[in-house]
């Protein structure tokens, strides 16, 4: 295992930052706030690094890393290379980097100047939402599944679950909603448990091992498929 510890944040231009892959998202979000740069308010409560966020095109509350990236510095076959954003295939919670195995070293991120007070208000609002809806008090790997980009127009399902009408208009259905309605909130295998606060989180009740978590993930996939005929795709990756 190689852990990148590159922690530099520097200005290339007034609103353009060069950020090392090892910089934590909360640290970067705080830096942006202190310098009145808007666009990364959503990341204050995300316990990941810049490199991981670029790799998986992390995001929340309708924003994502791809919105900010101008270029990414990578290591390929022992050589450094810089990729412009148009050379990178970003889509929902994924990127080219998941396919080609490049090591992300740093990224250049373009922000907009904003009002410091409004940036702070947005950060606090997002943190409050996270505290209220996510199981922050127990260990987890974050959201387990991607939100399916699909419609469910089966009239029986729409009648049984009226919220599907709203989700169908957006053509994206929260995975947590499907898991909850499949009756899996609170389901446990060993010490791994589907969070009762947010069904797209699997929390460790104390001593859960990876096999228990994986068994629970597989069970969720089967039950959601049976109830909704939707194939959930994992946001987390197995190594």
DSSP-derived secondary structure for 203-220: EE-SS--HHHHHHHHHHH
**Residues ≥6 apart with Cβ < 8 Å to 77:** none
DSSP characters over 7-63: --EEEEETTEEEEETT-BHHHHHHHHHHTTEES-GGGTT---BHHHHHHTT-EETTE
Give CA separation, 233 vs 45, 167, 197, 213, in Å.
Answer: 24, 18, 21, 15
Marked catalytic residue, from 143, 180, 195, 212: 143
Contact call for residues 50 and 23 (beta carbons, < 8 A)? yes
pLDDT at 5 > cutoff 90: no
Q: Residue 7: pLDDT band by 50, 70, 90 thresholds?
A: confident
pLDDT tens per residue across span 177-189: 999 999 999 999 9
* pLDDT of 32: 98
What is the pLDDT averaged over residues 103-130?
Answer: 96
Point out which residues pair with 107 in neighbouring strands.
19, 72
* pLDDT of 112: 96
pTM: 0.85
* pLDDT of 99: 83
What is the pLDDT averaged over residues 64-69?
Answer: 97
235 given a catalytic annotation: yes
Q: What percent of the chain has pLDDT over 70?
A: 100
Output the six-digit token pair for 120: 């702070």
Q: What percent of the chain has pLDDT over 90?
A: 89
93 given a catalytic annotation: yes
* pLDDT of 179: 98
pLDDT tens per residue across span 9-39: 999 999 999 999 999 999 999 999 999 999 9
Q: Extract the runs of DSSP E, i.e. beta strands, from 69-183.
A: 69-76, 79-84, 103-110, 112-113, 140-143
Q: Please state, in angstroms and rounded to a whole number, the distance separating the CA atoms of residues 214 and 192.
A: 9
Marked catalytic residue, from 64, 93, 106, 195: 93
210 given a catalytic annotation: no
Residue 83 dihedral angles phi and psi, to the nearest 5°:
-110, 130
| Average pLDDT value over all residues in the chain | 95
């Amino acid at each position: 295992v190689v852990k990148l510890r590159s922690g530099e944040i520097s200005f290339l231009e007034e609103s353009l930052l060069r950020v090392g892959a090892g910089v934590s998202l909360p640290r970067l979000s705080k830096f942006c706030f202190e310098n009145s740069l808007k666009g990364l308010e959503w990341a204050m409560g995300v316990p990941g690094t810049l490199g991981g966020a670029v790799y998986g095109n992390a995001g929340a509350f309708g924003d994502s890393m791809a919105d900010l990236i101008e270029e990414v510095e990578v290591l390929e076959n022992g050589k450094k290379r810089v990729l412009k954003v148009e050379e990178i295939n970003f889509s929902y919670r994924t990127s080219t980097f998941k396919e080609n195995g490049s090591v992300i070293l740093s990224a250049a991120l373009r922000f907009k100047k904003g009002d410091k007070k409004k940036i702070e208000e947005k950060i606090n609002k997002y943190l409050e939402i996270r505290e209220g809806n996510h199981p922050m008090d127990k260990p987890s790997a974050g959201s387990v599944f991607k939100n399916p980009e699909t419609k469910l127009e089966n009239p029986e399902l729409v009648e049984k679950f009226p919220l599907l009408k709203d989700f169908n208009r957006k053509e994206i259905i929260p995975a947590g909603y499907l898991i909850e309605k499949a009756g899996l909130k609170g389901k446990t295998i060993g010490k791994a448990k589907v969070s009762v606060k947010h069904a797209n989180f699997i929390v460790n009740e104390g001593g859960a091992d990876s096999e228990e978590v994986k068994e629970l993930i597989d069970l969720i996939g089967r039950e959601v498929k049976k109830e909704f005929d939707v194939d959930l795709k994992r946001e987390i990756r197995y190594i």
